[in-house]
Chains A and B, each alone.
Chain A
């Protein structure tokens, strides 16, 4: 049996860049793990090659088989969570127990107003207007 859980304070999933993120990491494992690590990172999803960036990790020392530990991260100013048709950038917290490799993951949004930036395509008629307005200036 392996249960890992990430609880973010106030059950939030949306944050401003630079904001503080707090919560608790808990686990219930058959045996004391060698190590438990909480990772704050972003990754991309979409059509092309995937990319990822590790921002911060917290290693919980001398973990028992069943425990709850508090954590605190200061979120960076960038990159923002965003989604277009070709690529999405997603922020996440991941709790990993070694050596079992048991994992828990929570996805969050890091962007102004806590809203994922949408890169929707601009309708053709609007791009035409923009081009015209540039042309007349």
Chain B
């Protein structure tokens, strides 16, 4: 199969949005407000934290906030020199920082970051563990969630995918990103049945 035709290509994965379960966006935003917009989205690798943070952004903008998306990762563990100074220079109560990968900062750097951004109206972070800020939402995955996403990508019914879903979910310990990346390889191999 050509890469451009692979149902699991990056472009299509990125189009998949976070699927809230057992809560509505209105409820989540109410909880966010109750936490004074200082809260964490917590979850393991590949559980959808970044996607949820991205999906929160337009909803916070709808509420009149100016949002600023910042990101650290295992490849880029620290901010560029001068970045924080520039970022924090004009922060007001109308600004909300959306910080993806807050666990990359060590405890001291985290404290310093919190102090520097204290004038912002909000700080929503993603992190692997609880404790840095009150938890707004814990991102969990399940075989059913993986089945639903794969079914949408393949345009089939999710019930037809359970065998492969269970294998990939277990193999990648619930990391949906890695499971979908392996599914890409399986889909590109003409000798393997797609489901």
Contacts and interface: CB of A to CB of B under 8 A. Distances in A.
A123 to B, nearest CB: 11
Interface stretch (B5-13, B42-50, B100-108, B121-129): B5-13
B10 A50 contact: yes
A45 B181 contact: no
Nearest to B11: A45
A46 B4 contact: yes
A82 to B, nearest CB: 9
Contacts of A85: 1-3, 6, 188-189
The number of chain A residues touching the other chain, given as a range, is 10 to 19
Tell me the dominant secondary structure on chain A's binding face.
strand
Residue of B8, B188, B189 with most chain A CB atoms under a 10 A cut-off: B188
B2 A83 contact: yes
A84 B189 CA distance: 11
Which size class do B's interface residues fall under? 10 to 19
Interface string B1-42: 111101011110000000000000000000000000000000
Contacts of B188: 85-86
Q: Which secondary structure dominates chain B's binding surface?
A: helix
B12 to A, nearest CB: 9
A99 B51 CA distance: 27
Contacts of B4: 45-46, 83, 88, 90
Contacts, number: 41
B137 interface: no
Nearest to A44: B3
Nearest to B12: A45
A135 interface: no
Interface in A11-54: 45-50
Contacts of A87: 3
A49 B1 contact: no
A88 B3 CA distance: 5
B3 A86 contact: yes
Which are the 7 A-B pairs with shortest beta-carbon distances?
A46-B3, A88-B4, A83-B2, A85-B188, A88-B3, A45-B4, A87-B3
Given A45-B11, A49-B10, A50-B10, 10 more contacts: A45-B4, A46-B3, A47-B9, A47-B10, A47-B181, A47-B185, A50-B11, A85-B1, A85-B3, A86-B3
6 contacts: A45-B9, A46-B6, A47-B8, A47-B9, A85-B189, A90-B4
